[in-house]
Amino acid sequence: MDSFVVKRKRRIGEQSTEFNSEHVTKKSKDDSTETDQGAVHSILWKEIRRENLCCDYTVFYSKHQADELLAECEKKLIYNEGQMARVHLYGKWMEIARKQVAFGDDCLSYRFSGKTVLARPWIPLVQKIKDDITKATGYTFNFVLVNRYKDGHDHIGEHKDDEKDLVFGHPIASLSLGQARDFVFKHQDSRGKKATRDIPTVKLELQHGSLLMMKHPTNSFWYHSLPARKKLINVRINFTFRQMVVKKTC
């Protein structure tokens, strides 16, 4: 496969994030985003392609913008507690290994690990991030799941975001703030003892202020996870903006 990193216009304030250039292919379309001052910058997307994996990655916010957003998130976000922070696994209730909260349009809820997460009404901070992503990508979102990883012990296990309440084919936009963490994709045919093929895993390091667009059909074929990295001590907050099927009644 022809593989190379696209070196086009770099955004003002953008830090360099070279990840393995293998399988990173050229993106033809130039997207743009606005700064707080209204200036338009072009975005340098890196395309990550494998069999049925289609993701675009960029450092979306400058370090300064991302620092401010992280500080505001730490002040303003209140996470689910009690039953809403537990999963039922192997006959036992367990605390999830991170904190979560969801925001969304009226009446939206989301099933996660067998439980229903109610969306809270949008708050300006989260709405602003959503609007920035929509402006830059052209995709709209009506729901976001926020995960807070207090340090490298917190993690999320392998899963696919392929629930039927999600609009089929719509990308998921994953915005990360704080501690850079490994993010791992595994093809469904290459998992565990029943693996039928030997497809290499895809590992990215998601940087502070980065945006990963997970596009169709990635979530139909590939599992993803954020493994524990116990030596890391800093907080990371991740937003996965999604488009959910809107049901008529609340």
Ligand X SMILES: O=C(O)CCC(=O)C(=O)O
Residue 149 counted as an annotated binding residue = yes
For position 189 contacting Fe ion by CB under 5 A, the verdict is no
46 interacts with ligand X by CB under 6 A: no
Query: Considering the complex, what minimum distance in angstroms separates the CB of residue 139 from Fe ion?
Result: 17
Residue recorded with tokens 């998601």: 206
Q: Does 147 bind ligand X (CB under 6 A)?
A: yes
238 binds, among ligand X, Fe ion, none (CB under 5 to 8 A by kind): ligand X
- Could you tell me which of 55, 37, 36 has the C-alpha nearest to residue 46? 55
Structure tokens at 208: 């502070």
159 assigned binding-site residue:
yes
Count residues near Fe ion (CB under 5 A). Answer: 1
CA distance 200 to 209: 27
**Nearer Cβ to ligand X (42/163):** 163
Instruction: In whole angstroms, give the CA distance from residue 34 to residue 230.
Output: 36
Least Å from the CB of residue 240 to Fe ion: 6
Judge if the upstream peptide bond of residue 124 is cis by omega within 30 degrees of 0.
no
Q: Which amino acid is at 45?
A: W
Query: Given candidates 68, 161, 165, 182, which one binds Fe ion under the rule CB under 5 A?
Result: 161
Distances (CA, A) of 161 to 53, 63, 179: 13, 28, 23
CB 175 within 8 Å of CB 26: no
Binding partner of 69, given ligand X, Fe ion, none, CB within 5-8 angstroms per partner class: none
Q: Which residues are annotated as a binding site for 2-oxoglutarate?
A: 147, 149, 159, 224, 236, 240, 242
User: What are the residues binding ligand X (CB under 6 A)?
Assistant: 145, 147, 156, 161, 174, 176, 183, 206, 224, 226, 238, 240
